[in-house]
Amino acid sequence: MDTAQGIREAITGALGQLGISAAAETITLEFPADMAHGDYATNVALVFAKQVGMAPRDMATMIVEKLGTIDGVARIDIAGPGFINFTLSSQALAISLNEALIQDAWGASDVCPDETVMVEYTDPNPFKAFHIGHLMSNTIGESIARLLQFSGAKVIRANYQGDLGVHVACAIWGIQKLGIHPESADEFGTAYAAGATAYKEDPVAKKEIDEINTKLYERSDPALNILYDTGRTTSLEAFERIYGILGTHFDHYFFESQTAPIGKNIVITHPDIFPESEGARVFKGEEHGLHTRVFINAKGIPTYEAKELGLEKLKKDLYPETKLLIIVTGNEVVDFFRVVKRALELTYPHIADEMVHVPHGMMKLPTGKMSSRTGDVITGESLLRELAAAAKVRVTESRAGDTEKLSQEVAVAAIKYQILKQDSSKDIVFDRERSLSLEGDSGPYLQYTYARTGAVVGKAHMQGIESRVDMNAEPTEVVRLIHRFPAVVEQAARDLKPHLITQYLLSLASAFNSWYAQVQIIDTSEHAPHKVAVTAAVNRTLKNGLWILGIPAPEKM
């Protein structure tokens, strides 16, 4: 039994003596922000005080009196209005430190052991630019996938791409009008912007684009099919280059051309749920506290809504073993997914029960929000190139043998950290200069700390100093933070919130670097093996944490 569970069970026992029934798993334990207040804190006295008619602090006093001795706990204190703080013994913390040294998967949890989970993310559309919004979806989705994988799940990574629809027709219209070669992926964004603008402002162009859209669905125009097939392949190959840089792979690619007929069939075979309205098929969302949306338009073409129904059905048909279908998208489609999920509940409730939408905020530049329709877009590839070029200037004196590779890894870290350092539901303003900083609150700072810890351990081993934990050593802030890692991973996996890992790693790196500045780790004292052990444990924790975030961990910087 771990120490936290022992504390929960002791609290449950104390409450029982006071006539209060509570299961151990319902007892909340948190990490105090100030470590002077201990390693764990609980508000249990504040929760139950009213039930027994006592002041919370008096209730806390009675609970503490009945707790008795708890394995691994050195001290119990009462703070503020009735919080109970627990300080762990040096031996309990040393056990965690030793586990961090010997376990390759240090920090892994069993939140979802042996469960099959599908995570769908990134979802760029062929014929459109892979912009920094897609980088945001990719970064969050990949980290969630890794979190669940690190927590025991079998993860299927999925990517859903809109290879049919008005947006494709707009891009192809633009390619034709501007004379763009169908293998020039870098110019597809310009083509789409031209088509999207014309579709909105020019009735003649709108008619032409609608005709292209119909022909693409029907595959009725041989010349158009060749242009479409060439452009689609070109787009997908360009996306794969970016995935390789980001460290992402996908197990299955879904396309709207596959899901459209499935979704259309679902709508047609459920006329009671999708009644006809002015020649179209709609879902009357107002009857469910939502809003009405069209699922098949008056021309008989399935909309995004119908395609999404088809997608979820196809996912489950292909992977019936899944227990969870997670979808990571921007928060501008939250209302869309509410309607789709309600429609799914009425058609395939067992699939709807597994569907979890994880919306994220928008990535903005200091100049404001992007728009692919107007062409005001920063592509993911151009941002990666720009940051890699800036990083290369800074790593010219690096100890790394391949500065080209290192600069790319630093660029990836710079982007991913900026995205994952706060709750993903919030918008972020990407700060290029801060993202590359080695002075804290950045991905490169975590990479640098990882490389530094590895270098120290390597140097110690060369001098014959091996890592060895002193079970009675006075715990430092660094050691106390190492102990927290498994619990942070577990909470992040349960809540699907990678930023909890990012914030934790920043705290650990900062604490280590402060400690490193104050002590000499490699010396001739009897404490050197323990100090090297602490450093090695930080190294392992950073490595595993960076892996969860999808951030490369270079050995030398």
pLDDT tens-digit series, residues 64-114: 999 989 999 999 999 999 999 999 999 999 999 999 999 999 999 888 888
Cα–Cα distance between 318 and 427 in angstroms, integer? 34
Render pLDDT for 218-252 as a digit per residue (tens, 0 to 9). Answer: 999 999 999 999 999 999 999 999 999 999 999 99
CA gap 199, 71 in Å, rounded: 70
Q: What is the pLDDT of residue 152?
A: 95
Q: What is the pLDDT of residues 269-324, one digit of tens each?
A: 999 999 999 999 999 999 999 999 999 999 899 999 999 999 999 999 999 999 99
Tens-place pLDDT, residues 109-144: 888 888 999 999 999 999 988 988 899 999 999 999
- Rounded distance, CA 230 to CA 553, Å? 37
Superfamily of domain 380-549: Isoleucyl-tRNA Synthetase; Domain 1 (1.10.730.10)
Q: Which ranges in the chain are annotated with CATH 3.40.50.620? A: 121-257+323-364
Q: Does residue 368 sit in helix, strand or coil? A: strand
Burial class (CB in 10 A: 0-12, 13-18, 19+), 320: exposed
18: its two tokens: 């006071």
pLDDT above 90 covers what percent of the chain?
A: 83
Give the bridge partners for 359, in sequence order: 329
Kindly compute the dihedral angle of the four CA atoms of residues 180, 186, 188, 193, in this order, to the nearest 10 degrees: -110
Query: Which of these, 234, 230, 228, lies nearest to 172 by C-alpha position?
Result: 228
DSSP string for residues in 6-20: HHHHHHHHHHHHTT-
Quick one: pLDDT at residue 527?
95
CA atoms within 13 A on the CB side of 424: 33
CATH H-level, domain 3-88: superfamily: Arginyl tRNA synthetase N-terminal domain (3.30.1360.70)
Confidence band, pLDDT 50/70/90 cuts, at residue 478 = very high
Supply 449's token pair.
Answer: 């700390």
Alpha carbons 309 and 106: distance in angstroms, whole number:
40
Residues of the chain with CATH 3.30.1360.70: 3-88
Between the alpha carbon of residue 25 and those of residues 6, 12, 30, 257, the distances in Å are: 11, 9, 13, 46
Q: State how far the Cα of 12 lies from the Cα of 29, in Å rounded to an integer.
A: 13
CATH class for the domain made up of 121-257+323-364: alpha beta
> Per this entry, what is the length of the chain?
557
Residue 347: CA count within 13 A, CB half-sphere: 26
pLDDT in tens, 174-188: 999 999 999 999 899
How many Cβ atoms sit within 10 Å of the Cβ of residue 464? 6
